[in-house]
Amino acid sequence: MLQIGEFAALTGLSVKALRHYEQEGVLCPAAVDAVNGYRLYHPGQVHDGVVTHALRRAGVSLPAVAEVIVSGSGREALVAHQQEVAATRQQEDLAFDLARRILIELELPVDIFERQMPAQPFVGVILPAPTSDDDVERADAAARESTLVSRLIAEDLGPIGRPWTSARARDVQSTQYLLCWPTSRPVPPQWARAGEIVGVLPERTELVTRRHVEHDTTSGSLHSQMVALFGALASRDADVRGLEVRQQVMGLRESSHTLEVATDLR
């Protein structure tokens, strides 16, 4: 039998690690001396000790190592962990790239101006939150969008211009997202079906940020324009309670278009 120090030297595991693994029920000693409490390991456990040391250095979790000791599937556990690490690194690389692009976008100039706008009736569909990953919810919204546009055309209501997306406070804890189309005349409330909304943007003074985008970086551009918009609101000491922010893309190509982000000055 091997004492714990000898076993540690042979396997590369520290005495502290061996005691911790014993507490966790992993790589327990073969026997404990009843008189002095010394932990004793069987020579056949050296193999498990070396495997444990190798896998733990590679970052394999302790529960996974415990399964390997029982099953002997060390290679499979290492490959599975390597795949998890690769997937995590890929996600980290994507996150780093997005952060880099957003920081670059924030340094680019944004046009900021005020404009007077007439009243504009509209109809819209309620959208899932941008963070939603519910495919069914997104498919339902897309179907409502198609149906609504067809009804507008059939009833000679429009659309009379480009659509816009809108984000507005629904209550103190949630935001409502809409995709809206301008109509040629006001639409009565009863016209709207489930998941739809009708309304009129009043005559108003808008605060607008505008940027021409030459490549597909809408999320970064939107970040920069939102920052610019709220900076302009702050400089005007504007009331931002219950603020509605509207986003509109102008241009036929996704890779080259103008993006406007606007809100009403109050």
Per CATH, 2-77 and 111-264 having the same topology is answered no
Q: Write down the pLDDT at residue 242.
A: 84
Confidence of residue 205 (pLDDT cuts 50, 70, 90): very high
Q: Write down the pLDDT at residue 218.
A: 44
Q: Tell which CATH architecture fits domain 2-77.
A: Orthogonal Bundle (1.10)
Structure tokens that stand for 212 in this block: 């021409």
Residue 222 has pLDDT above 80, yes or no: no
Residue 175 has pLDDT above 90, yes or no: no
Tell me the average pLDDT of the chain: 89
Where exactly are the structural domains of the chain? Answer: 2-77, 111-264
Secondary structure class of 14 (helix, strand, coil): coil
pLDDT in tens, 11-30: 999 999 999 999 999 999 99
Strand partners, 165: 179, 247
Determine the average pLDDT of the residues in 240-261: 83
Confidence of residue 253 (pLDDT cuts 50, 70, 90): low
* Burial class of residue 229 (count of CB atoms within 10 Å of its CB; 0-12, 13-18, 19+): buried
Among 150-159, 163-172, 256-265, top mean pLDDT goes to 150-159
**Model confidence pTM above 0.75:** no
What fold is seen in the domain 111-264? Multidrug-efflux Transporter 1 Regulator Bmrr; Chain A (3.20.80)
